[in-house]
Each structure stands twice: as structure tokens, then as C-alpha cells.
Amino acid sequence: MTLHAHPPASHFSDFLATDLRSVVPADPVAPAVPAGPPGFATEQVHGGSEVDAGFGARVSPIYLTAGFVFDDFAQARARFAGEDDGYTYSRLANPTNAALERRLARLEGGAEAILVGSGQAAVTVALLGLLQAGDHLLSAGRIYEGSRGLFRENFARFGIEVSFVDDATDVDAWRDLLRPNTRALFAESIPNPTNGLVDLQAVADLAHEHGVPLVVDNTLATPYLLRPLEHGADVVVHSASKFLSGHGASLGGAVVVGHDIDVADPVVFPHLATPTSALGGRTWLQAHGRRAYVEFTRQVIVSRLGPTISPLNAFLIQQGVETLSLRVARHSENARTIARWLEARPEVARVDYAGLASSPSAALARRYLPRGAGSVFAVTLHGGEPAAQRFIDAVELFSRMTHVGDVRSLVLHPASTTHAHRSEAERLAAGIEDGSVRLSIGIEDVDDLLIDLERALRAVRAGLPPQ
Ligand SMILES: *Cc1c(COP(=O)(O)O)cnc(C)c1O
């Protein structure tokens, strides 16, 4: 006898048909099923998926292999010449990584994606695909501290000049700092941790007037909340270690390239317009047209600098991506409840959450983040560092950690950790005070988080002078 875990499909559909006939009155005008491309939740589960060629595995297998066998001499030559698009070596491409690249490209509405080992690597390779010594990068001032350090210290040593826009919410401030040799603009969709939103479309328009691309770090919004390519951005970068992975188990990064990136000007991007022996004497633009930037970045920047992601980590991130919309909706809902609760508390001086009606970014949040404002923000306590210390030492459910976008709620004191090397004046300019605490709200029951925060605020109150 054959055992069926479920009734065979035919029985089930017979049952369904009978059942429906008995409850649904015959109606010749059935409601129309809406036409259109698949929605986000469908794409996050199915986008770019292919049934495994070997055994038909539904979930993309983990191809933990350094290299791939060539059938014969001719195939090896063809693969190296780019005439056969099979795999060669996992630093260049790997099927597990490629599956996640296809899915992220779909979710961001981009043409292609390149997966790398961390968000830091993604920012690095996306920009080194555009910039060389003598070029200028114009970046929002309030950005992830690792990106800021990369621009100031590492890029400076490569001869790449960088300027930071102090008030990136003001488009004219960007315009004032443009130079003839500016080759890219850089911003974050939800700036970490002070949430001062940038008008992406206006900054993208400015970049295009100047003939250069806008690169947006979309880590804290994720494509579920905001798709920067739909607002004029040309390249999106991610730390996939955060919400995309979601479970805090692996690092990863991604560069997603839009359909319309224009890098054809040989004066602005000479590296794409220079004949190269690897392309038989053609230029990247001649060989790849609109895909010149993504091919150059993959083949010359990523494959040579080597920030390869393990297929095991790509697999874990893929698992996370399949529930992205569910998690981020819950993260945002919890964060909004908590931000509003904190804002009303006497121990709290300020809450920098773009989703609050009181936020200076409220109008931009309504326009760019209608589904929610994410869950990473700063709260500034009365009482300076001692208050922050009491708060952080009192929590029991929140984890004291330098990480964000995890299913678990996390807390960190930027002034003594991520921003400790900055002068006090620089910290204040970045909106980081001694009493500022960064929260990354998880998906726990919000009441349990509020109980933990109440405990922390009680500890703060105990240390404040009596009113
Ligand atoms: C964490 C983070 C990065 C760096 O990503 P890693 O995966 O840690 O290298 C870049 N940008 C933002 C906004 C981040 O939060």
C-alpha cells in the first residue's frame, strides 16, 4: 500500500470543486483576477528561482565548491574567453550566490546584482567600479560609520577625494559641494542612526544633471520599504548581514545595478572606454554597452580584490529573504509603537525616528516610506553618558550589540563605541550626544520590549537629580 502524507492532488481538487459548488452561487460574471507583475511577497519566495538541474531540489542547493569541472579542453578555453557562460571558479561566480543575486535584483527592481562577503565590501566595490585616483566622491555626512571611515581613510590613500554634505536633507547643500571631478554621489535611504531622510529623487536629479550616478545604501529600508532605483538611484548597495539575512547568523553584501545607469561618457568614466587585452582590444563599453559598469565591477573589481561570499552564507541570506516582507512589516510596527512610547517619556530628550509625526523627516517618510520607517533609530536620554550607561546595563531582553536588523532587539551606545574615535564636536554634528542610544527593534512581542524599556528608564530615573 502506498502511504500519502497528503491526499493525492486529484482527490483534493475534486473535494475543493465539490465544496465550492455547494457554497458559491453560480455567477457568470466571476470577479476579475488583477493582472500585473508578481507582488513583492511572491518575488521574495520565487524571484529568479530555477529548479536545480542535478536532482530537482526546490530550494537552491549550497554549492560549496571552489571550482567547476570543464568537460574538455575546448570548454575551458571557451569559458575563459566568456563564450560559454558556465561556471569556472567560485570567486568569479557560484550557482548558490547567483540564485540570490537574481532574487535581490528582482526585489530591488534592478537589472543585475553582485553578491559579496559583507556590506562594507559592497560599498567598496560599487564605488571602485566608478572611481579612480583624482576623482571626487560626494557623500551624505550622516552615514554608517564604517562607510565614512572607508571614504576618509582608505579612499583618501587611493587618491580619491571625498566631501561630506553636512545637511544632506538640503539639496542645495549637495549642489554647493559638486566639483568638476565629482564622479558619484552617495547616500543612505534611512540614515543610521539619526534617520534624517534625504530626498533621493532630488539628489538623483542633481547627480544626473552632473552626468554621474547616485549610489544608495538601502540596508536599513530594504526593498520592501523603499526601492531607490524607482526614485532615480542608479546603484543600490546592501549590507545583507542585517534585515535581508534577518537572523544575525551571517555576513553578506550586495550591489544591485539599475537598468538605466549611464556610464557612457569616456571623459567621466575613462576606465570603461579604454581598450583592454582581456576583451580582445575592445573597451568595456564596446563589449558590454549598458552592462559595462556591472561587468567591469564584477570582473575587474570584485574578482581581483576578492571579497567573495561563502555559498553557505548566501544560502542563509536566501532563507532570510524569503520572509523579508513579514519581518520588516513587524519590525516597523514594533518600532513605531516604541518610538511613540519613548517620545512621551520624561526621561527622554529626543527620539530620531523618521516614522514619527514630530520628525523633521515626516513629510519625506510619507512619500518614500509609506509601508513603514524601519526599526533602527536613536533615542537621546536626559542625563548624558551616565543615563545611557544605566539604560544599557538595565535591559534584559535587548542585546547589547553592534549590529542592526536582527529579529532580536539590540541596543548600543554610539558615543563610546562606533563613534568613540570622533571628537565631541564631530559627534554632535552627526547628531550623536553622550545620552544617545541606538536601538534596533526586533520582532518580539512589543509588550515585552516595552517592559524591558520601562525597566531601563526606571534605572535612568533613579540616577537623575530629583525634580
Ligand atoms: C552594517 C552596515 C554596513 C556594513 O555592512 P557589513 O555587512 O557589516 O560589512 C553598511 N551600511 C549600513 C547602513 C550598515 O548598517
Of 219, 225, 406, 438, best ligand 1 pocket probe by most atoms within 8 Å of the beta carbon: 219
CA dihedral over 20, 25, 26, 27, signed as positive or negative: negative
Strand pairing category for 253-257 and 399-400: unpaired
Distance 183 CA to ligand 1 centre (A): 22
Q: Which residues line ligand 1 (CB under 6 A)?
A: 118-120, 123, 144, 146-147, 188, 192, 217, 219-220, 239, 241-242, 251, 253, 404
| Nearest ligand 1 atom to alpha carbon 376 | 15
Distance 44 CA to ligand 1 centre (A): 21
| Nearest ligand 1 atom to alpha carbon 251 | 7
CA distance 280 to 295: 15
Which pLDDT value is given to residue 411?
98
CA distance 329 to 440: 14
Instruction: Please write the tens of the pLDDT for every residue from 263-300.
Output: 999 999 999 999 999 899 999 999 999 999 999 999 99
Distance 239 CA to ligand 1 centre (A): 5
b/e 323-354 (16+ beta carbons within 10 angstroms → b): bbbebbebbbbbbbebbebbbebebbbbbbbb
Query: Alpha helix (H) ranges present in 299-347?
Result: 303-305, 311-321, 324-343
- Helix (H, G, I), strand (E, B), or coil: what is residue 348? strand
| Nearest ligand 1 atom to alpha carbon 253 | 7
Evaluate whether 314 touches 100 at the Cβ level (below 8 Å).
Answer: yes
Which pLDDT value is given to residue 22?
47
Return the residue matching grid coordinates 571625498: 162
Q: Which positions ≥6 away from 58 have C-beta within 8 Å?
A: 51, 52
The grid cell for 390 is 544605566
Return the H-helix or E-strand segment holding 411.
strand 410-412
Evaluate whether 370 touches 328 at the Cβ level (below 8 Å).
Answer: no
Which pLDDT value is given to residue 26?
54
- Measured between alpha carbons, how far is residue 6 from residues 3, 232, 242 in Å? 9, 48, 37
Return per-residue pLDDT of the chain as tens, 467 residues. 333 333 333 333 333 334 444 445 556 677 788 888 999 999 999 999 988 888 999 999 999 999 999 999 999 999 998 899 899 999 999 999 999 999 999 999 999 999 999 999 999 999 999 999 999 999 999 999 999 999 999 999 999 999 999 999 999 999 999 999 999 999 999 998 899 999 999 999 999 999 999 999 999 999 999 999 999 999 999 999 999 999 999 999 999 999 999 999 999 999 999 999 989 999 999 999 999 999 999 999 999 999 999 999 999 999 999 999 999 999 999 999 999 999 999 999 999 999 999 999 999 999 999 999 999 999 999 999 999 999 999 999 999 999 999 999 999 999 999 999 999 999 998 999 999 999 999 999 999 999 999 999 999 999 887 76
| Nearest ligand 1 atom to alpha carbon 143 | 13
| Nearest ligand 1 atom to alpha carbon 252 | 7
b/e 432-460 (16+ beta carbons within 10 angstroms → b): bbbbbbbbbbbbbebeebeebbeebbebb
Distance 161 CA to ligand 1 centre (A): 22
- Residue minimizing CA distance to atom 8 of ligand 1: 119
Of 241, 243, 310, 418, best ligand 1 pocket probe by most atoms within 8 Å of the beta carbon: 241
Provide the 8-state DSSP code for 154. Answer: I
Which pLDDT value is given to residue 4?
37
Of 139, 144, 245, best ligand 1 pocket probe by most atoms within 8 Å of the beta carbon: 144
Which pLDDT value is given to residue 466?
72
- Residue minimizing CA distance to atom 2 of ligand 1: 239
CA distance 427 to 90: 41
Q: Taking each helix axis from N to C terminus, what angle separates 324-343 and 446-463, rounded to the nearest 10 degrees? A: 30
Distance 175 CA to ligand 1 centre (A): 27
Of 239, 331, 406, best ligand 1 pocket probe by most atoms within 8 Å of the beta carbon: 239
Q: What is the pTM of this model?
A: 0.92
Residue 28: cis peptide before it, omega within 30 degrees of 0: no
DSSP 242-285: TTTT-SSS---EEEEE-TT-----TTT-GGGSS--GGGTT--HH
Evaluate whether 242 touches 120 at the Cβ level (below 8 Å).
Answer: no
Return the residue matching grid coordinates 571611515: 149
Which pLDDT value is given to residue 17?
39
- Residue minimizing CA distance to atom 5 of ligand 1: 119
